[in-house]
Structure 1
Amino acid sequence: MSSLWPYVTSGIPDHLFERLPGIPLSKREVRLLIVSLLRLKRDSVLWDIGAGTGTVSVEAGLLCSQGKVIAVERDEDVAALIRRNCDRFGVTNVDVIEGSAPDCLKNLTHQPDCVCVEGGSPIKEILKTVWQHLQPQGRIVATAANFENLYAISEGLAELQVRNIEVVQSTINRLETRGNRQVFAAVDPIFVLSGEKLD
């Protein structure tokens, strides 16, 4: 448990994370959806591929107190940002791997029982490699910000014969103060796809 976020529930406010310009951050509401679809256990091993700011890794690290999170990020500065965000929240069970997926995934020693794919290309090759390592009854969750990625992920999951596939599009509006008025501002919609490996 972190003094910055001393709660057992997920949903850390976005502003509590350190950020870098241009580096994506999974918004709190989308993160809650991702975490719920991962169906984490206290001892889960999660691969977070394309971890970006590390928000999902931090949330999962806090939830999986006896487990392990492997955050994969190809950019050295962004990987350092993930480490700093883990330090901010006192998360010690996240290992940050600097490398490009899918190539760097072959050398990971902790086999996952859940995987989150938040970015990366070629996406279908990443999914295929992840599937080879995913434990039976494992969960896979992937996000897409556009129709091209949505199609590629959907096709990749179908080719792998992922079971119990769900597709959700988030539509989130947040109340914001602009000048002397309060308005609802839309958060960019994200598609979240999930499924499981039954054998």
Structure 2
Amino acid sequence: MTKEAVRALALSKLALHRAKHLIDVGAGTGSVAIEAALAHPQLQVTAIERNPAALGLLEENCRRFGCPRIERVFGVAPLVVEQPADAVFIGGSGGHLSQLIDWSLAQLTPGGRLVITFILQENLNSALTHLATCKVTGLDCQQLQASTLTALGQGHYFKAQNPVFLIACEKESHHV
């Protein structure tokens, strides 16, 4: 599940207030897809997940949070999605990052937003190298690390979470 602080930044970078369709690749239990759908009732959300257990939790979470309109797709991206997207979130690449970036950019309408999160430095480097060859603008890369107040004996301390890298960019608009 995408941590709350990372999810908040990712959703902000997706600019969903102007989007009609979001594709969530590697949706897991659905934290990004569900929060996006709840915050933007006009938004069509397609959540793609390859793990059957995670997909089951995604379906359960959609019922629990009242998000029946999220289209849940069992499969491995890249796959066929009928409607173009205004935003794509990649939360998991399954080792096919460059291929997923290309597929995501092909799914996006001009000016559409792509947001990708990673925990591995190698994936960050691979994505940045690949995106340098793609027609994107406004490339933004951040590292986030949050800590949570945790009890320890009679006191408290901030327990650090693993750092997460976030890349956000926009597909180039067509120029006439």
Task: Give the TM-score taking structure 2 as reference length.
Answer: 0.93
Equivalent residue for 1:55, pick from 21, 28, 31: 31
Aligned-partner residue type, residue 76 of structure 1: P
Task: Spell out structure 1 runs of 4+ moving beyond 4 A.
Answer: none
Q: After the TM superposition, which residues 109-188 of structure 1 pair with which residues of structure 2 at under 5 Å, given as runs?
A: 109-120=82-93, 121-188=95-162
Contact 1:175 1:184 in 2 (8 A): yes
Contact 2:21 2:43 in 1 (8 A): yes
Residues of 2 paired with 1:117 and 1:33: CA distance?
A: 14
Alpha-carbon distance, 1:80 to partner: 1.3
Residues of 1 paired with 2:18 and 2:97: CA distance?
A: 28
The unaligned stretches of length 5 or more in structure 1 are: 1-24
Equivalent residue for 2:50, pick from 71, 74, 87: 74
Which has the bigger relative contact order, CA under 8 A and spacing at least 6?
Answer: 2
Hey, what does 1:18 align to over in structure 2? none
Hey, what does 1:17 align to over in structure 2? none
Contact 1:168 1:192 in 2 (8 A): yes
Contact 2:30 2:58 in 1 (8 A): yes
- Structure 1 residue 36 and structure 2 residue 16: aligned? no
Which structure: greater strand fraction? 2
- Partner SS, residue 108 of structure 1: coil
Distance 1:76 1:145, change over 3 A: same
Contact 1:42 1:63 in 2 (8 A): no
Contact 1:128 1:156 in 2 (8 A): no
Hey, what does 1:10 align to over in structure 2? none
Residues of 1 paired with 2:3 and 2:21: CA distance?
A: 23
Q: After the TM superposition, which residues 82-101 of structure 1 pair with which residues of structure 2 at under 5 Å, given as runs?
A: 82-101=58-77
The unaligned stretches of length 5 or more in structure 2 are: none
Contact 2:19 2:86 in 1 (8 A): no
CA RMSD after TM alignment: 1.2
